[in-house]
């Protein structure tokens, strides 16, 4: 593969991911507002926000780790997006999808979070640190059912590669959510937690402005982080779609599928009240774990 080709596709994919992700965020704000009987901001509001953050002149500098934190986030987000196959069969959008697999993706995710946590830590804001500890605790809750679902899928299809999974689904014209329903259910249940949305939003605690990991970031840092967050969100959605819903062969189809999943996340978030961290962990280790175990049994028996 040509290196320039690769660079180009990477830039295109990143841009697309950025645009889609930010738009999704706007849509979410709108939907949430509507559900709460508010008018809500326009859908493009998040673009404006990011633009505003980037154009801010002054910058609060807390130290090296604080400076680097957004970079960890965005490096992680873009790399994951590049690894997750977005377009099945497309040579151009292949990116790095043959150079990584599910385990790598799973392990890349904390890369950004660790960077953010370190940056947060250096600011000295205790509330931010509390947010980080909540987030990490919740990670234990959400990761285990999710990884179990993924392992069930991996073992069932004898592959750890996402690309392979997409290929298998495309070739057999089936979606894993139908062939491995329990794995799908388990993953679906923990999905809101992975987006820090729904009942699992105690980490960022959007209602309490002062706390949450990102409260000490402003200006260009926050802008970078928001961009990274939106790209990361899209990457995660794509991953979910790739694994369970057959991936896609064109961007439109991908947007439909990812948006459906995202809609589900938004809906759950609107319906469910926020949980405390330990409640969240217990809930995540409730039904999702049962589903995951059922998925294992399914793999073991069939």
Q: How far apart are CA 276 and CA 269, in angstroms?
A: 14
Nearer to other proteins, 26 or 145 (CB): 145
Q: Is the CA virtual torsion 216, 218, 224, 227 positive or negative? A: positive
Residues contacting residue 78 through CB under 8 Å, at least 6 positions apart? 10, 14, 17, 228, 231
DSSP codes of every residue in 67-105: HHHHHHHHHHHHHHHHHS--STT-SGGGTTTTS--HHHH
Nearer to other proteins, 87 or 215 (CB): 215
Binding footprint of other proteins, residue count (CB under 8 A): 83
CB of 149 to other proteins, least distance (A): 11
294 binds other proteins (CB under 8 A): no
Reduced 3-state DSSP string for 194-211: HCCCHHHCCCCCCCCCCC
Chain residues 45-84 in contact with other proteins, contact rule CB under 8 A: 54, 57-65, 67-68, 70-72, 74-76, 78-79, 82-83
Report the Cα–Cα distance between both ends of the chain, in Å, rounded. Answer: 39
Chain residues 81-140 in contact with other proteins, contact rule CB under 8 A: 82-83, 96, 99-101, 103-104, 107-108, 110-111, 113-114, 117-118, 121-127, 129-130, 132-134, 136-137, 139-140
Interaction mask 155-194, other proteins, x per CB under 8 A: x--xxxx--x------------------------------
Chain residues 215-274 in contact with other proteins, contact rule CB under 8 A: 215-216, 219-221, 224
């Amino acid at each position: 593969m040509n290196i320039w080709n690769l660079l180009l596709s990477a830039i295109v994919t990143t841009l697309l991911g950025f645009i889609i992700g930010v738009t999704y965020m706007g849509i979410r704000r709108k939907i949430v507002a509507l559900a709460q009987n508010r008018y809500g901001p326009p859908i493009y509001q998040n673009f404006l926000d990011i633009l505003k953050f980037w154009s801010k002149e002054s910058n609060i500098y807390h130290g090296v780790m604080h400076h680097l934190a957004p970079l960890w986030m965005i490096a992680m987000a873009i790399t994951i997006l590049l690894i997750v196959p977005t377009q099945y069969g497309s040579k151009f959008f292949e990116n790095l999808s043959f150079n990584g697999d599910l385990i790598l993706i799973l392990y890349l995710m904390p890369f950004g979070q660790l960077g953010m946590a370190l940056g947060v830590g250096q600011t000295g804001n205790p509330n931010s640190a509390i947010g980080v500890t909540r987030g990490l605790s919740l990670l234990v809750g959400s990761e285990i059912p999710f990884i179990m679902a993924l392992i069930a899928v991996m073992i069932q299809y004898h592959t750890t590669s996402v690309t392979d999974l997409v290929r298998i689904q495309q070739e057999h014209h089936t979606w894993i959510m139908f062939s491995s329903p329990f794995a799908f259910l388990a993953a679906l249940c923990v999905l809101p937690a992975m987006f820090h949305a729904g009942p699992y939003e105690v980490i960022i605690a959007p209602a309490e402005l002062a706390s949450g990991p990102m409260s000490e970031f402003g200006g260009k840092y926050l802008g970078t982080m928001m961009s990274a967050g939106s790209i990361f969100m899209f990457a995660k959605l794509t991953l979910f779609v790739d694994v369970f819903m057959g991936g896609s062969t064109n961007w439109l189809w991908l947007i439909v599928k990812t948006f459906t999943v995202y809609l589900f996340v938004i809906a759950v978030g609107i319906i469910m009240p926020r949980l405390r961290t330990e409640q969240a962990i217990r809930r995540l280790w409730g039904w999702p774990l049962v589903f995951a175990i059922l998925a294992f049994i399914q793999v073991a028996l069939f």
